[in-house]
Amino acid sequence: MKIIFLGSSFSIVWYMRHHKIVRRSYDRDQDTFRHYFLVLPCLLLALLINEKFSFKEVMWTFSLYLEAVAILPQLVLLQRTRNIDNLTGQYVFLLGAYRAFYILNWIYRYFTEPHYVHWIPWISGLIQTLLYADFFYYYFHSWKNNKKLELPA
pLDDT exceeds 90 at position 64: yes
pLDDT in the model for residue 151:
64
pLDDT exceeds 70 at position 120: yes
pLDDT exceeds 80 at position 20: yes
116 to each of 112, 121, 125, how far by Cα in Å?
9, 12, 16
pLDDT exceeds 80 at position 11: yes
pLDDT, tens digit (0-9, with 9 covering 90-100), for 125-146: 899 988 888 778 777 777 776 6
pLDDT in the model for residue 50:
94
- Asked whether 62 and 50 are in contact (CB, 8 A), the reply is no
Task: Locate the domains of the chain by residue range.
Answer: 31-145
Q: What percent of the chain has pLDDT over 70?
A: 93
pLDDT in the model for residue 39:
94
Taking residues 86-111, what's their average pLDDT? 85
Taking residues 37-58, what's their average pLDDT? 95
